[in-house]
Structure 1
């Protein structure tokens, strides 16, 4: 008999954790998972229920394998931590592999910089260059995860095909110069590409809820590391720039021609490597970040709602204000997702969970006003690519936020587990990637490439 969905989710989370360890290959993970499933099946046959069988099976795996012991230690609040945690058997050095991985990361970072530099030298039209930047950089990041997760050639081909399709769409479609569909395609392409990077990150297991949540957490941590690198690099470049100016050397042409094309894409790849190598550093401050920014975001949403409510006719709502509203709602979604990923799913309801519900309800109020304003403008002025794209995004946000509010309410009333909220977040994320792909591929011919 197949394990219950709850045990499948636990096995999936265990596998995702094990895959993140540098010394474990994909084949080893498959073998370990098979062994774990056999243990669960054998124990279930003796009369244990699925949960008990999983606990005992992981304990046995912990006795055999250091990685399972680390998994239990990291999830120290879980009940079965007591079953798994056994004395350390000594650590094994992985210095050679670490140096090899660093070499791969630096090679990919330089490769991304070379791709951007060559494109900048060969493409005279800046608009063409800007809409292709994500196609020049993100394949190198996907390549890093493909190497690290040891993806099969079949999975690699599946990932390469959408990259090729997007490259054709962005460069072969007869877009009108400075047209709306061109701008929309350029803005939505990174969303689709980031979803492909996510598939590489989870080792091709794109149906894994735990894997998608892990990628969401990685995205937040990547933003933190990239920001830190950008700030540190900006300070160093500023000091160098000032020093050279004082001695009569103008470094601006060199910086623009060589430093920036290599620094920005290279920093993205290096930041991804830092997240992989130093995951526990940012994970420790993730709860702090969410608790600081959630109240501030609630205040911002309330101010925005008051501004919209007092702005008069929705038909006269400024287009720039609607764009700002959408950006704010996306920020709320990211904050909600990061908060969910940083929380212990087995913990009881707390005050911060109620604060998250306030955040979601406030976002729903703002989204309702935004949707009303968009529908009013469409009824008065008709459809356009921008209006339809914005309307579709806001409908998706509305559905996502309503589902989150319902599940959060159920959790606060102790009628639903917190894991249900996490599954809703990860299962809805691919919808945004699909919508972005529709905007990139379908919108241009439907609206005549204008």
Structure 2
């Protein structure tokens, strides 16, 4: 089969997987049947794309297929809420996966414990923490996806470049008795984890980083991962608070144990557990995802309008507070993340509706805020000169501007019925490498360009 047909099958597979009542084994069986149909049709004289379309048509409407599976396998809907399925549902494999995840989590905890023991400088700890923890998450994905050693080696080699940069660059410090890291140092160790997270996505995709469907799966995973992470952290805070309160009443100091053992092992453990839960509970969380996006999208729109009013009534743009501009960038990144997650959770074959118009309004408001923030940044740079921090903020806003402008154009065409939603979705995944390139520029090039200050 040609590469175009394989890409279409990849998109079809991703669409089928979104039906929570269809298990992974059933998806594989359906794909085998689809490929057999395509092969038979190609043998009959049809080209690859024609054979694919005819074969999909013969497979029947996927919503009807989902309903049929729901009737025949209704037990799956409630079994998905069980932590580990029974043995006849592939539970042995799930237990094995859980055991491997725990092994990676413990190994990551040992690595963090060694980092805390060997490094006394707080700044150096912050610089290297992501480089110590995320490789174990990447390793778990590599094991789970059966990624080739070649892809793993190349990914590790690429990740080693920012690691060497943040540790070997001669960053300057500011202050006297209590020195603090310089701005390029701060920019490097805050952007490096973002670059590492995008590299982890290569292994999450099983090495198929060029696949738009795999990239969108990683976007979806990231959103669900954040939800689980927040829930686990909130629960952990309550448990730790209660434990510390009880121990304090009997005269036991809980803080040494917390700092020496719980934090080194708990931090990476939470990350691995959250990732495992996302992988184990995909269908359950995907039911929640559309609801969350519909709740937070209108709230984000109101927030953006309020932020825009604040920027416009705050006086001349040269007087806009620097911290306010940084917060506006954080808001825009949050809105972008919400947009990506909303698109990843949407049924691409559904017709445009009210929520799509709401998303278009959200992107329009984000563009307005971005334009005002850009104007303020350019005005401040023209009056006070350029610094590493200002240039990084300006560059981020320009990257966001391109992303939002084309997203708005594609969304406008979709809601007006002039283009398919697949184009909107494909643009989001096609633009992700731009963010990777920008973070690499900030980590690797900004320090020497601005004299490591």
Whether 1:97 and 2:100 are equivalent positions in the alignment is no
Whether 1:43 and 2:46 are equivalent positions in the alignment is no
| Kept after mapping to 2: 8 A contact 1:58/1:84 | no
After TM superposition, list the pairs within 5 Å mapping 1:194-233 onto structure 2: 194-233=197-236
Q: Name the TM-score, length of structure 2 as normaliser.
A: 0.87
For 1:401 and 1:32, how far apart are their aligned partners in 2?
A: 37
| Kept after mapping to 2: 8 A contact 1:56/1:83 | no
* Cα offset, 1:43, TM superposition: 1.6
Whether 1:134 and 2:130 are equivalent positions in the alignment is yes
| Kept after mapping to 2: 8 A contact 1:385/1:443 | yes
* Cα offset, 1:99, TM superposition: 1.7
Work out which of the residue numbers 244, 251, 269 in structure 1 matches 2:254.
251
Q: Could you say what secondary structure the match of 2:343 adopts?
A: helix
Work out which of the residue numbers 163, 169, 172 in structure 2 matches 1:176.
172
Question: 1:190: which partner in 2?
Answer: 193
| 1:228 to 1:83, Cα distance in 2 relative to 1, 3 A | closer
Whether 1:299 and 2:302 are equivalent positions in the alignment is yes
* Cα offset, 1:390, TM superposition: 0.7
After TM superposition, list the pairs within 5 Å mapping 1:373-392 onto structure 2: 373-392=376-395
Gaps of 5+ in 1: 63-71
Question: 2:358: which partner in 1?
Answer: 355
| Kept after mapping to 1: 8 A contact 2:38/2:48 | yes
Query: Mean alpha-carbon deviation: is it higher for 49-58 or for 99-108?
Result: 49-58
For 2:313 and 2:321, how far apart are their aligned partners in 1?
A: 13
Question: 1:113: which partner in 2?
Answer: 109
After TM superposition, list the pairs within 5 Å mapping 1:228-377 onto structure 2: 228-377=231-380
* Cα offset, 1:445, TM superposition: 1.2
Question: 1:10: which partner in 2?
Answer: 8
* Cα offset, 1:410, TM superposition: 0.2
* Cα offset, 1:284, TM superposition: 0.3
- Post-superposition Cα deviations, 1:338-363, rounded to whole Å, max 9, x if no partner, equal 11011111111100000000100000
* Cα offset, 1:10, TM superposition: 3.1
| Kept after mapping to 1: 8 A contact 2:370/2:397 | yes
After TM superposition, list the pairs within 5 Å mapping 1:384-423 onto structure 2: 384-423=387-426
Whether 1:440 and 2:443 are equivalent positions in the alignment is yes
For 2:421 and 2:65, how far apart are their aligned partners in 1?
A: 18
| 1:106 to 1:59, Cα distance in 2 relative to 1, 3 A | farther
For 1:292 and 1:52, how far apart are their aligned partners in 2?
A: 41
For 1:395 and 1:163, how far apart are their aligned partners in 2?
A: 25
Question: 2:80: which partner in 1?
Answer: none
* Cα offset, 1:275, TM superposition: 0.4
| 1:17 to 1:138, Cα distance in 2 relative to 1, 3 A | farther
- Post-superposition Cα deviations, 1:131-178, rounded to whole Å, max 9, x if no partner, equal 111101100000000000001110110111022212211111111121
For 1:351 and 1:223, how far apart are their aligned partners in 2?
A: 27
Aligned residues: 430
* Cα offset, 1:200, TM superposition: 0.3
- Post-superposition Cα deviations, 1:57-114, rounded to whole Å, max 9, x if no partner, equal 4688x8xxxxxxxxx9xx943x7769999977x9954222222111110111111111
Question: 2:155: which partner in 1?
Answer: 159
Q: Could you say what secondary structure the match of 2:351 adopts?
A: coil
* Cα offset, 1:16, TM superposition: 5.5
- Post-superposition Cα deviations, 1:15-53, rounded to whole Å, max 9, x if no partner, equal 5589999988xxx98x99798557425425646686663
For 1:353 and 1:437, how far apart are their aligned partners in 2?
A: 33
- Name the Cα RMSD after superposition: 3.0
| Kept after mapping to 1: 8 A contact 2:308/2:368 | yes
| Kept after mapping to 1: 8 A contact 2:101/2:276 | yes
For 1:445 and 1:365, how far apart are their aligned partners in 2?
A: 34
| Kept after mapping to 1: 8 A contact 2:16/2:62 | no
| 1:119 to 1:17, Cα distance in 2 relative to 1, 3 A | farther
Question: 1:144: which partner in 2?
Answer: 140
| 1:174 to 1:17, Cα distance in 2 relative to 1, 3 A | farther
For 1:176 and 1:439, how far apart are their aligned partners in 2?
A: 16
* Cα offset, 1:310, TM superposition: 0.5
| 1:335 to 1:310, Cα distance in 2 relative to 1, 3 A | same
| 1:408 to 1:16, Cα distance in 2 relative to 1, 3 A | closer
Question: 2:428: which partner in 1?
Answer: 425
- Post-superposition Cα deviations, 1:167-222, rounded to whole Å, max 9, x if no partner, equal 21111111112111110000110111011110000000000000000000000000
